[in-house]
Chains A and B, each alone.
Chain A
């Protein structure tokens, strides 16, 4: 076992949510790490994709007091420019304008945190973890992108006896996920699209590495829950569901499977980013669609749940 990791490692987080109830057992705190190698067309957290902080502007809140403009030393576009759609090209994301904005019209998405700062924040929720059998879930983005920070946090939390989960796409070098497997109590492991070509088309990365990593952490004895973002027209066909069922059932430690129904709640965020939402026209699955999919997976002897925003 390696010595304690340095405490001054920082991670880039874009949110910390308490009372998270769909990301593992019990009442949890979800830590959203910024940066992701995938570009899934249905992505619900587009603000988590880029591995650097970003400035958001909520024009409805702006009272045009220009406190932001006065606070900025770097000629960032003023509120009026932002409202007209100008992107903050010259912006260094120092956050001065965000601090100055009393109306909360500006938000810096992605803040740097040390391990201690993060642990201190989640430690406050300990009474709820202990009562409910909950803990901390690292999600994103892709938390494995910041594996050094992630492992340092996991180690610190294990020392403190706080349950951890890592919500991952599984797309990372095998040695990275293997190290994380040593320190997390649970993986929430996404299987999205089971056709090689379609996987690359919809997510931007190949499937092979993801499946290889899944087998590797299974071999290492990790506890895994498979999560399937269930999206009509993309992975709702019998073939793909069977493929998921076969892989899950073939693991040493047969995982639970969670179907996460697709929803369009992220539409707003895309608008905020002034980005196209490629999945905007996709319909959300009905209860019947989900029921069918769940019973198909159950045929492989898998404990199957429908969870997440679509069916809270």
Chain B
């Protein structure tokens, strides 16, 4: 790490997350004057331009890449047009124990005086909840599903390579050409298209202005700068910002700054999900890198330092905080920007280059929260690269995560995307598949699968609240066989998906008509050609997703019921229901039967895995192909972020022996502690899921560092990954944990049941070992630096 990067790293790590009211106030003042005077797209474009013209410009010491989301690092703007924080929300943010955001008295005052009075009744969130049916509200409150768009805008999108080939002036020319094509005689939507296109042109101009203001600040700082090196650096920033984003970048630093202005524009315009992401950053930068090396204008070390500067910019942006219940309960500073490394090119060649390796080095050295990064591994990815990635994974930061590029492409082709578009795509957010620069792939909400089974077992009544929520599918004691139970599950599932998707459609229309995103549209194919906004279906592909949560808990619950109630008769349905209702109080043996004596997903057990496939396929069939209102279709993906914890809280005891209120299984990972056949068992089970039918699945694995020690440890990890991917898996991520975690595992063994340790020439589960044995292993972990090989 260079001294510059060390200082920038320290600065970003010590910048306190702070709420800034600047954007909210600027926007409020603009809307007070201009609301309703132009078309919605133009109103959005002009308000964006207003922000670009007036927001504070910040250039910090040492920076080589410039531009902040807020007025200074760590400060996050707010988006009252989407969701308007109350004073209580802001005070909670300022005072809560975890992921706290500083909120100054000035911010509170600005909100009280200006922002809240204007937006309280106008925010989109308010309109969304007013537009939902009572059934939707009840299901939402019960925790059957969540709603992504009630606090943030549709985003879930990623840049492709076009911004490195064409500047804003080029986009403006394309807009002019598209306007000339408009046929006012025969096309009834021509006028609407014209408005959209003109709005996009304003957005293009706005970001040029924004960059110019950075150039002016850099030049004025240069005038006052006495240090010759810094003066030169500031002048270089000035030249860069006068060139990009108006024009295509000419070298490595301009390429990075080009992306960064686009990034800032997307997240200033609206607060879309997952911020914005650079996609295949290495592939986009590689030509600039090679050219710089060749003509002598760039060294490898300089490139690495610039990448370090670039990474720090992401980390300067804590996610804009949520409101209401979510503000009080959940929280992460991560805004989910995610960088793809390696993968394949549009023509299917290996995409690994020198910049791919540079990025791994930067990740390893910086070790900061944002941006997330992942490696895309195809059958053509060299082993050398995978092994280097494993070397970083072994450090135990939890990144990079690892994706199967071949399957990611297959998923997109199955959905009807062209092979080239699919290969230029990849993954973003957590694990979500998308055609970069050409697709709006909108996650609409998490869906609580075990809760659906809970409703079946209670004839449609939510046992937590006693409210009649679902369909009356009959008294479960009357089910004669497993098939009858499963039919009831299907009925409940369809019922709630209907409710969820009906709600989504209303929300989609609200965004389409009221919340256009002209800047995002500008850089997303084919919004210009179609004269249509990103939020009304202007992208080439428009996909909506529902994210299934708790497939492990669901599978194990189904397996336990099938095995004990319908096959072995080791308990009656009545007995099971009573035990679930009492949260297994005075039914510990029954709970242990369910937990220890039933087929479990994640062990390469065909019986359990067949039920996973049945449940998965049922969810898939229920969602897949339903139309959204933007001309696209619904698909599923299987990821929870942290929602399996929330869903667990609202779900009572389940038939897999899980106690009420505890977390559901996470991603497609087995139920916590129930994968007892080692990592290969997990991989073989997980690979039985039809990953290509999803837009992403999430598999977490946990290792202690010893297992990955030395070169053969790395090779074994690489083999595990390659095997999972050959078998069709989508994604894996790894926890490599040390002594501290092991101590926690001692205190709370049930939650750490699947933690594997090497014991005596073979591996075993940590929690199966006695305290003294655990103690010795803990001491070994501490000595791991002294190992010979």
> Does any Cβ of B come within 8 Å of A311's Cβ?
yes
Tell me, rounded to whole Å, the shortest Cβ–Cβ distance linking A120 to chain B: 12
List residues 744-767 of chain B with CB under 8 A from any CB of chain A: 756, 758-763
B290 proximal to A (CB < 8 A): no
Q: Size range of the interface on B?
A: 35 or more
- Kindly identify, within residues 718 to 776 of chain B, every residue whose CB is under 8 Å from any CB belonging to chain A: 719-720, 722-723, 726-727, 756, 758-763, 769-770, 772-773, 776
> Which of A23, A124, A134, A306 makes the CB contact (< 8 A) with B761?
A23
A281 at the interface (CB under 8 A from B): no
Please tell me if the beta carbons of B770 and A271 are within 8 angstroms of each other in the complex.
yes
Tell me, yes or no, whether A206 is within 8 Å of chain B by CB. no
In the bound assembly, the distance between CA atoms of A29 and B125 in angstroms comes to: 55
> Within the complex, what minimum Cβ distance (angstroms) separates B763 from chain A?
6
Given contacts A287-B786, A291-B788, A311-B787, contact A103 B592 (CB under 8 A): yes
* B680 lies within 8 A of chain A by Cβ: yes
Complex alpha-carbon distance, A32 and B597, angstroms: 24
Mark out the residues of chain B between 588 and 611 whose CB falls within 8 Å of any chain A CB in the assembled complex.
Answer: 588-590, 592-593, 595-597, 604
Task: State the Cβ distance, A118 to closest chain B Cβ, in Å.
Answer: 16
State whether A127 touches B716 (Cβ < 8 A).
no
Query: How far apart are the CA atoms of A308 and B710 in the complex, in Å?
Result: 12
Binds B, one of A1-9, A74-82, A208-216, A262-270: A262-270
Q: Tell me what chain B mostly uses at the interface: helix, strand, loop, or mixed.
A: helix
Q: B residues within 8 A CB of A108?
A: none
Chain A interface bracket (under 10, 10 to 19, 20 to 34, 35 or more): 35 or more
Contact A125 B596 (CB under 8 A): no
The answer to the question of A312 belonging to the interface, with a C-beta cut-off of 8 Å to chain B, is yes
Q: Closest CB-CB distance, B592 to chain A, in whole Å? A: 4
For window 665-701 of B, CB contacts with A under 8 Å fall at: 677-681, 683-684
A-side contacts of B680, CB under 8 Å: 18-19, 27, 125, 128
Please judge, given known A-B contacts A291-B788, A309-B759, whether A267 and B772 are in contact too, CB under 8 Å: yes
* Interface flag for A237 (CB, 8 Å): no
Cα(A17)–Cα(B787), bound, Å: 25
- Return the contact of B719 from the options A65, A132, A308 (Cβ within 8 A): A132
Q: Hey, what's the 0/1 contact readout for A30-47 against B, CB within 8 Å counting as 1?
A: 101000000000001100
Instruction: Tell me, rounded to whole Å, the shortest Cβ–Cβ distance linking A133 to chain B.
Output: 8
Residue of chain B at shortest CB distance from A125? B680
Q: Is the CB of A17 within 8 A of B788?
A: no
Q: Which residue of A lies closest to B769 (CB)?
A: A268
Q: Which B residues touch A282, using CB under 8 A?
A: none
* Known contacts A102-B589, A102-B593, A312-B707; A265 and B788 CB within 8 A of each other: no
Asked if A51 CB lies within 8 Å of chain B CBs, one says: no
Bound-complex Cα distance A284 to B413 (A): 56
CA distance A267 to B774 in the complex (A): 11
Q: Give the complex CA separation of A89 and B719 in angstroms.
A: 47
Q: Which residues of B contact A45 (CB under 8 A)?
A: 760-761
- Whether B604 pairs with A124 at a CB distance below 8 angstroms is yes
CB pair A309 B719 closer than 8 Å = no
Given known contacts A127-B723, A128-B720, A268-B769, is B677 in contact with A22 (CB within 8 Å)? no
Name the one of A63, A132, A260 contacting B588, with C-beta atoms under 8 angstroms. Answer: A63
Chain B neighbourhood of A312, CB < 8 A: 706-707, 709-710, 713, 758, 787
Residues of chain A within 8 A (CB-CB) of B710 are 312
How many angstroms between the C-alpha atoms of A308 and B787 in the bound complex? Answer: 12
Q: Is B789 an interface residue (CB 8 A)?
A: yes
Within 8 Å CB of A245, what residues of B? none
In the complex, A26 has a CB within 8 A of chain B: yes
B585 at the interface (CB under 8 A from A): no
Residues of A close to B780: CB separation below 8 A? 263
Q: Which residues of B contact A124 (CB under 8 A)?
A: 604, 684
Please determine whether A67 and B722 come into contact, CB atoms closer than 8 angstroms. Answer: no
Which B residues touch A159, using CB under 8 A? none
Contacts of A26 in B (CB 8 A): 715-716, 719
The one of B727, B769, B777, B786 in contact with A127, judged by C-beta atoms closer than 8 angstroms, is B727
Query: Known interface pairs A103-B596, A265-B776. Does A309 touch B707 (Cβ–Cβ under 8 Å)?
Result: no
Given contacts A18-B678, A127-B723, contact A139 B716 (CB under 8 A): no
Q: Is the CB of B707 within 8 A of A294?
A: no
Contact of B716 among A15, A132, A264, A308 (CB under 8 A): A132
**Most chain-B CB neighbours within 10 Å: which of A19, A44, A291?**
A19
Among residues 160 to 180 in chain A, which have CB atoms less than 8 Å away from a CB atom of chain B? none
Q: List 14 A-B contacts (CB under 8 A).
A: A19-B716, A20-B762, A21-B716, A45-B760, A63-B589, A102-B597, A104-B592, A104-B596, A127-B726, A131-B722, A134-B719, A271-B770, A291-B788, A308-B761
Given contacts A21-B763, A128-B723, A312-B706, 16 further A-B contacts (CB under 8 A): A17-B678, A18-B680, A19-B678, A21-B707, A21-B712, A30-B761, A102-B593, A102-B597, A103-B596, A128-B680, A132-B719, A263-B776, A265-B759, A265-B773, A286-B786, A309-B761
Which chain A residues have a beta carbon within 8 Å of chain B's beta carbons? 15, 17-23, 26-27, 30, 32, 44-45, 63, 65, 67, 102-104, 124-125, 127-128, 131-132, 134, 139, 260, 263-268, 271, 286-287, 290-291, 294, 305-306, 308-309, 311-312
- Closest CB pairs A-B (n = 6): A132-B719, A102-B592, A312-B706, A17-B762, A44-B760, A19-B678
- B-side residues, CB < 8 A to A, are 588-590, 592-593, 595-597, 604, 677-681, 683-684, 706-707, 709-710, 712-713, 715-716, 719-720, 722-723, 726-727, 756, 758-763, 769-770, 772-773, 776-777, 780, 783, 786-789
